[in-house]
Chains A and B, each alone.
Chain A
């Protein structure tokens, strides 16, 4: 079945540091890939997505590229801010009428001033 593997956390960075959060997936066919973010006390929000190989999703300075050859969708940001502190979830959705979102375990990012 479909699965998403995220790197182990938590991650603590200083403000303006470079961020990489690794995500790899297993799926049949050609899934769509997503990064969701969950701020403290809030629900999940879509951060970015990519629907086909080599697509790059970007939003709020975050980027991720759909790499079919390595089945990866790593999240990057060149300069993190304190306000980026949150839990980040990688997810996939396979094609098909009853496809569903499959999430990774999530990783907590804390950014120090």
Chain B
């Protein structure tokens, strides 16, 4: 029944070692989002795809990249993780932007050692 699936649930990576988080959806939604959520803070939008169109938030560090090879899958690449990148990463989808609700995955908790 899971509609937005994130893998893995927990990821440990070394300082400076590239890491990729994955998200897949069975909803056939046009929009896929990546949020970063640090402890006791609001989820912060990193970027989103509307179909194949990539929309980067102005304050998202260059260290964060994303790929969407097809409708179902979206990846978050962190090229050189720092200790400050340790967080929960949330993937979400929606039919379109604006008033429609977003469906979230369970998140991937990233630890940087």
Contact = CB atoms under 8 A, between A and B. Distances in A.
B7 to A, nearest CB: 13
Interface in B10-59: 33, 40-43, 45, 48, 50, 55
Nearest to B91: A43
B81 interface: no
A44 B97 contact: no
A43 B90 contact: yes
Q: How large is the interface on A (under 10, 10 to 19, 20 to 34, 35 or more residues)?
A: 20 to 34
B101 A99 contact: no
Given A43-B104, A44-B104, A51 B99 contact: yes
Given A43-B105, A98-B55, 17 more contacts: A4-B42, A36-B104, A42-B106, A43-B6, A43-B104, A46-B101, A46-B103, A51-B99, A95-B99, A99-B98, A100-B33, A101-B45, A101-B102, A103-B43, A105-B40, A105-B41, A106-B42
The 7 nearest A-B residue pairs measured at CB: A43-B104, A103-B42, A32-B99, A44-B104, A43-B106, A46-B101, A105-B42
Interface of B: 4, 6, 33, 40-43, 45, 48, 50, 55, 90, 92, 97-99, 101-107
